[in-house]
Amino acid sequence: MRETKIGINASFNKKIKSVEDKVDMFLKDQLTDIARTAVDLSPVDTGAYVTSFSYTVGAGRPRGKSSANKPKYQNKQSKRDEGFSNLMQDLSRAKDLEGVSEVELRNRSPHADDVENGTNWSKTQGYFVFAQIRNMYG
């Protein structure tokens, strides 16, 4: 019987770990950029739409706030910051994204289709937030 032992250099394992860490960091940076873009492109009236974005990473329920009976003319930047913070909380729940095969950005606001496509609206043709994100990030 013949045997051959192959030693694995410890520095090789460190290099692999370093590459994995860089990929994870790149992915989180990309998802952060997408989150910022989503909230910056979103219209703000009551704030329900912009605060209804969520990322699917592990457990958690999708956000879907209604604008019904909410005060209008909310502070745009404040609501956008709240929406961005929600998305960052979603990402923070994922310890690492190495084992994640798919991350979905979604908006479960009851009027999300109206905002996106102008469905049932006479005031605008839509804001096309998701279409713009797809064009920018693929």
pLDDT in tens, 25-49: 999 999 999 999 999 999 999 999 9
Report the length, in residues, of the chain: 138
Instruction: Kindly state the average pLDDT of the residues 47-54.
Output: 96
Q: Which pair of tokens denotes residue 72?
A: 């209008």
Counting other chains too, the contacts that 131-137 makes at CB distance below 8 Å and 24 or more residues apart are: 132/37, 132/41, 133/34, 133/37, 133/38, 133/41, 133/105, 136/37, 137/30, 137/33, 137/34, 137/37
The position carrying tokens 């994995």 is 20
Mean pLDDT of the chain: 89
Binned at pLDDT 50, 70 and 90, residue 60 comes out as: low
Per-residue pLDDT reduced to its tens digit, 98-116: 777 889 999 999 999 999 9
pLDDT at 59: 58
The residues near 93 (Cβ < 8 Å, ≥ 6 apart) are: 57, 58, 59, 60
The Cβ of residue 5 has, within 10 Å, a number of other Cβ atoms equal to 4
